[in-house]
């Protein structure tokens, strides 16, 4: 197979033995028998992506000084069986927002601060670090997920005249609510819609309930244009506390196979075998014509700062090639899969489409 190169895009010959390039990304990753998985960098101008990287590239030496300092500090504290309350004054010492992120790392409560951050004159450290490349990238990922959810729900409604959405490891589900707002505005006549949020953390589900109120989805009637009785938004949403790996109960609550499944943020913490197994189960559960969205963080120059200074650890950083290997183990036809990277290339979103019977 011939390997062609362009400035930003590469065609690579196989999944095995591919060496990752720093400035080039795979457009097509070929599997045996010439099956392909599409990989692309999204550049939709309508999404107004954040791409301000140079202040943090210049700060890379400072980041490594802080990483070294926090590493030594944690080692010293561990000798006495303790953990430092403050990792460094230059991150969580003088910024309440940064402290909130560190204390709630790996949860929707930290993501909530990052998603909805607005610069404050009295919090320069918060302004700086909550605009670091990883924070920009996770906001970019949310924008990309919202767009794909809207597209998936529109397709489901046009094909099936109903929407059954399952959010696995839903967290606060802000992206889901933002997408639903677009759908309700686009289809004011819609009534046949059901959404189930599944998460092991009850505080995340409570955050979802609060967001439903913030989006005016709770206690509000909406009407169809064909004389159908009004429906309460409250009746559209179900919140289930449970293990994401056992989502059968959530599917039962939906009252039918989901035609949209969202699971962005969980794969980062699953090993490859568990991820592939879960993908297989989800694909079998997905209704024909449905869409499944997942995601994963990519290796990047801030990962050690994330792990040591912010305490956002235990994540499994994967390249598109690694994710493609997981997808290859699911036996799902590659033509039904696509990997999209946000412009910072720090987060990818995997879309799997199940063809109609």
Report the CATH number that the domain containing residue 287 is assigned in CATH.
Answer: 3.40.50.150
Average pLDDT, the chain: 87
Band the pLDDT of 192: cuts 50, 70, 90: confident
- Closest residue by Cα to residue 207 from 134, 130, 101, 111: 111
**232: which 2 tokens?**
């309460």
State yes or no: pLDDT of 226 exceeds 90.
Answer: no
- Closest residue by Cα to residue 128 from 211, 66, 45, 42: 66
Of 72-81, 204-213, 217-226, 273-282, the one with minimum mean pLDDT is: 217-226
109 and 73 inside one domain: yes
Predicted local confidence at residue 219, as pLDDT: 53
Predicted local confidence at residue 294, as pLDDT: 98
Span 161-186, average pLDDT: 95
Cα within 13 Å of Cα(304), Cβ side:
13
Band the pLDDT of 55: cuts 50, 70, 90: very high
**202: which 2 tokens?**
């009850």
Predicted local confidence at residue 69, as pLDDT: 98
H helices of the chain, where? 54-58, 60-78, 96-103, 108-115, 124-129, 133-160, 174-186, 202-214, 248-254, 272-285, 303-308, 320-328
Does residue 66 fall inside a structural domain? Answer: yes
State yes or no: pLDDT of 231 exceeds 80.
Answer: no
220 and 243 inside one domain: yes
255 against 98, higher pLDDT = 98
Q: Is the CB of residue 208 less than 8 Å from the CB of residue 239?
A: yes
Residues 63, 308: Cα–Cα separation, whole Å = 11
Band the pLDDT of 187: cuts 50, 70, 90: confident
φ, ψ at 221 (rounded to 5°)? -85, 145
State yes or no: pLDDT of 30 exceeds 70.
Answer: no
154 and 247 inside one domain: yes
Span 96-110, average pLDDT: 97
Of the candidates 89, 110, 135, which is a domain's last residue? 135
State the residue range of the domain holding 73. Answer: 48-135
Percent of the chain with pLDDT over 70: 85
Does residue 19 fall inside a structural domain? Answer: no
Of 132-141, 162-171, 224-233, 283-292, the one with minimum mean pLDDT is: 224-233
108 and 168 inside one domain: no
Q: How many CB atoms lie within 10 A of CB 128?
A: 17
106 and 246 inside one domain: no
Band the pLDDT of 257: cuts 50, 70, 90: very high
187 and 228 inside one domain: yes
Predicted local confidence at residue 7, as pLDDT: 31
Predicted local confidence at residue 13, as pLDDT: 31
Span 22-46, average pLDDT: 67
**308: which 2 tokens?**
């040591």
Of the candidates 112, 135, 158, which is a domain's last residue? 135
What do you get for the CA distance between the two ends of the chain, in Å? Answer: 34
φ, ψ at 335 (rounded to 5°)? -65, -15
> What's the structural domain count of the chain?
2
Residue 115: exposed, middle, or buried by beta-carbon count in 10 A (0-12, 13-18, 19+)? middle
**139: which 2 tokens?**
């906001």
Does residue 14 fall inside a structural domain? Answer: no
pLDDT tens-digit profile of 296-331?
Answer: 999 999 999 999 999 999 999 999 999 999 999 998
Q: What is the DSSP letter of 4?
A: -
Does residue 8 fall inside a structural domain? Answer: no
State yes or no: pLDDT of 11 exceeds 50.
Answer: no
Predicted local confidence at residue 10, as pLDDT: 33
198 and 229 inside one domain: yes
Of the candidates 89, 118, 135, which is a domain's last residue? 135
Residues 133, 148: Cα–Cα separation, whole Å = 22
Span 241-255, average pLDDT: 89
Does residue 7 fall inside a structural domain? Answer: no
**Cα Rg, the chain, nearest whole Å:** 21
**288: which 2 tokens?**
């024909």
DSSP for 187-242, please give it: -TT---EEEEEEES-HHHHHHHHHHHHHTT-SS-EE--TTSPPPEEGGGGEEEEES
Of 90-94, 101-105, 163-167, 255-259, the one with minimum mean pLDDT is: 255-259
Does residue 68 fall inside a structural domain? Answer: yes
Span 154-173, average pLDDT: 95
Cα 341 versus chain centre, distance: 11
């Amino acid at each position: 197979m011939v390997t062609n190169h362009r400035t930003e895009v590469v065609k690579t010959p196989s999944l095995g033995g591919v060496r990752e390039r720093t400035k080039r990304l795979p457009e097509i990753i070929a599997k045996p028998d010439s099956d392909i998985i599409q990989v692309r960098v999204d550049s939709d101008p309508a999404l107004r992506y954040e791409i301000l990287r140079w202040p943090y590239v210049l700060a890379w030496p400072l980041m490594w000084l802080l990483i070294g300092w926090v590493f030594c500090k944690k080692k010293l504290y561990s000798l006495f069986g303790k953990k430092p309350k403050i990792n460094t004054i230059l991150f969580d010492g003088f910024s309440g927002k940064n402290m909130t992120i560190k204390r709630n790392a790996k949860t929707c409560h930290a993501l909530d601060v990052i998603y909805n951050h607005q610069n404050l004159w009295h919090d320069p450290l918060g302004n700086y670090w909550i605009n670091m490349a990883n924070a920009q990238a996770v906001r970019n990922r949310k924008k990309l997920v919202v767009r794909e959810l809207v597209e998936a729900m529109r397709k489901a409604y046009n094909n099936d005249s109903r929407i059954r959405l399952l959010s696995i490891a839903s967290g606060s589900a802000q992206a889901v609510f933002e997408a639903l707002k677009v759908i309700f505005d686009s289809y004011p006549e819609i009534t046949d819609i059901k959404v189930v949020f599944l998460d092991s953390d009850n505080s995340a589900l409570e955050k979802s309930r609060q967001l439903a109120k913030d989006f005016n989805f709770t206690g509000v009637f909406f009407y169809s244009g064909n004389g159908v009785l009004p429906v309460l938004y409250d009746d559209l949403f179900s919140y289930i506390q449970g293990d994401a790996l056992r989502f059968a109960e959530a599917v039962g609550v939906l009252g039918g196979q989901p035609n949209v499944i969202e699971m962005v943020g969980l794969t980062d913490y699953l090993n490859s075998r568990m991820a592939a197994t879960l993908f297989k189960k989800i694909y079998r559960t997905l209704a024909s014509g449905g869409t499944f969205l997942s995601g994963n963080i990519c290796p990047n120059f801030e990962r050690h700062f994330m792990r040591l200074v912010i305490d956002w650890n235990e994540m499994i950083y994967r390249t598109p090639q690694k994710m493609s290997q997981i997808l290859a183990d699911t036996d799902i036809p590659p033509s039904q899969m696509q990997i999209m990277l946000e412009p910072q290339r720090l987060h990818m979103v995997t879309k799997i489409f199940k063809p109609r019977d």
